[in-house]
Each structure stands twice: as C-alpha cells, then as structure tokens.
Amino acid sequence: MPELRPMRVEDVEEVHELNLLTFEALSASRDEPPEPRPDPAQAHIRYRHLATTDPEGAWVAEHDGAIVGCALALRREDVWGLSLLIVRPDMQSSGTGSALLRRANEYAAGARGRIILASPDPRALRAYSRLGLDFHPSASAFGTPRVTAPGGIVEGDAGDIPLTETVDRHVRGAAHGVDIGAQLEMGQTLLIAPERGYAVVPPGGGLRLLAARDEDAAADLLRAALARAESEMMVEWLTSSQQWAIRVCVEAGLELRAGTGGVFVSGEVGPFRPYLPSGAFL
C-alpha cells in the first residue's frame, strides 16, 4: 500500500504529469480522444496555489519513490470542495484512491457545505455517493460556437474580486476569494456583468467558471464567453438546474453530450444556480 503524506510545492510538476496520465487513460477507456494538454506553466499554478492555501487538504500517495496518487481539497468560508482525486492507472482499485479520499474528506469535518465535481468514472461516482452527497448527473456541450457577443459585458480585473465574492455568496453560499486571483494569474480573463455576475474565460476562449444573480445576466455572460472561442470548446457541468445554459449552448450550435459526470453537493451551498462551477475551484 502506498504511503500517504502531505503534498509539497516541489511535487507540483510530478502531480501535473500524473493528472495528465490519469485522465488520458480514462478517455482511452471510453474510446474518446484526450483533452488538449494545458500549458504546464499555467496548470502548475493551480496545484501550487492549493498546496499553499489548503495544506490540510493536499495529500499525495507515494510508492517506490514515485507519486502514484493525489487528492486536493479546499475550504472557502466553511464550504469544502474536492478539487482533484487521481490515482495512477496501474494502481487503481488498490485502495489508494479510497485512502486519499478519506484523508481529503477529513478536511471537511464541520463544514456547512460540500461540493465535488465528478468525472464519469463509475468508481468515482460510487465513492462520492458513499460520502452522503446528493448526485446531480451532468451533460456537456461541445463544438465551435456561432454566437454574437451581447452588449453590457466588460473585462474585469482583480479590483472586481469583491463583486465575485458577493455573487458567489448568493449563488453557492461561499466566495471563491483568492481562487479568482489564481485564475487571473493563470492568464484567464474575468468578464463582468456589472453588479449582476461574472465569468472566467481561458486564453483562446471557453469557460472556466460562471456565476450570476439572475438567469438573464448568466445567459449574457455565457454568450460573451462563447463569442470569444477561437475553435472548438466545451461547456461542462450542465445539470438539470442549469436549463438557461443548455438553451444558450443549443442556440449557439453546440452538441449536447450526456453522461459526462456529475455534480455532488450537500449542506448549505446556496441555490447553486445560475452557476457553472470550476473543475479546479468548485
């Protein structure tokens, strides 16, 4: 059995490579093409940020001197989230993932809410269900959008983080706070619907996070994000609660794909809509 230990900042590169290996193997097992590999310099910011802000939630499993598993959990304003749970493909179903998940879930003790975004891996879905969270199956929308950017959406910066915090507390019961700063450090763009909501868009277009006070603002933010896409892109975490987003994606000519995972929540996490969460920051 691998040994569990706290993640260190110097583990970032090895954890990133393990993450790529794990999810590319999952795609291959489902006869799907792998996702494009991210810029390592940007991806490393995520791991380094969480290992620094949430050391109690950052764990690795080590075997024969190599990292074979990792769990990253965060806690913001007493809402806990699981950012990452990976195990090297040849070490899966060995109990390593269960041990890492138990350790990460210990960081949730006393939290008033919990959030997990799950891949379609049946083992992950089963494990998260056993934690007592409610499962909301999700779809994704994929393709090259055909949409015109709406008016009234402007680019923001770190000075707009207080707005994101207010919107987050309304939608999900807790602000992302420093996580928005990490996304900006990763070169992502903050789009603002003044006083009503925001979205985070990666370089080249796409969507990493969207939250708004009302569905009209959310729809405009999503259209603005889609309009920036330079090629094919994916909108994830489309549960039945996000019909506004499904309508926008269909209108933009994107293809809906069911069975792409799910959103698990429990406790006090607000209405969780209109909201498209971040895979990394929940």
For the sheet containing 209-212, what is the strand order? 154-155, 189-193, 197-201, 209-212, 275-276
Q: Identify the CATH assignment for 3-111 out of 3.40.50.1100, 3.10.180.10, 3.40.630.30, 3.50.30.60.
A: 3.40.630.30
pLDDT band at 43, cuts 50/70/90? Answer: confident
| More reliable by pLDDT, 20 or 243 | 243
pLDDT at 46: 95
At 81-91, the pLDDT tens digits run: 999 999 988 87
At 118-127, the pLDDT tens digits run: 998 888 899 9
Domain with CATH 3.40.630.30 in the chain: 3-111
State percent of the chain over pLDDT 90. Answer: 80
pLDDT at 199: 98
pLDDT band at 93, cuts 50/70/90? Answer: confident
The position carrying tokens 């990253």 is: 72
pLDDT at 68: 92
DSSP line for the chain: -PEEEE--GGGHHHHHHHHHHHHHHHHHHTT-PPPPPPPHHHHHHHHHHHHHH-GGGEEEEEETTEEEEEEEEEEETTEEEEEEEEE-GGGTTSSHHHHHHHHHHHTTTT-SEEEEEE-S-HHHHHHHHHTTPEEEE-EEEEE----PPPTT-EE--GGGHHHHHHHHHHHHSS--THHHHHHHHTT-EEEEETTTEEEEE-TTS--SEEEESSHHHHHHHHHHHHHT-SS-EEEEEE-TT-HHHHHHHHHTTPEEE--S-EEEEEES-----SEE--TTT-
At 59-70, the pLDDT tens digits run: 999 998 899 999
Q: Does pTM top 0.75 for this prediction?
A: yes
Evaluate if residue 145 carries a pLDDT over 80: yes
pLDDT at 194: 97
Across residues 126-146, what is the average pLDDT?
Answer: 95
Q: CA-to-CA distance for 159 and 269, rounded, in angstroms? A: 25
pLDDT at 170: 97
Across residues 242-246, what is the average pLDDT?
Answer: 98
Give me the CATH topology for the region 141-276.
Aminopeptidase (3.40.630)
pLDDT band at 24, cuts 50/70/90? Answer: confident
Domain with CATH 3.40.630.90 in the chain: 141-276
Evaluate if residue 23 carries a pLDDT over 80: no
Evaluate if residue 140 carries a pLDDT over 90: yes
pLDDT band at 5, cuts 50/70/90? Answer: very high
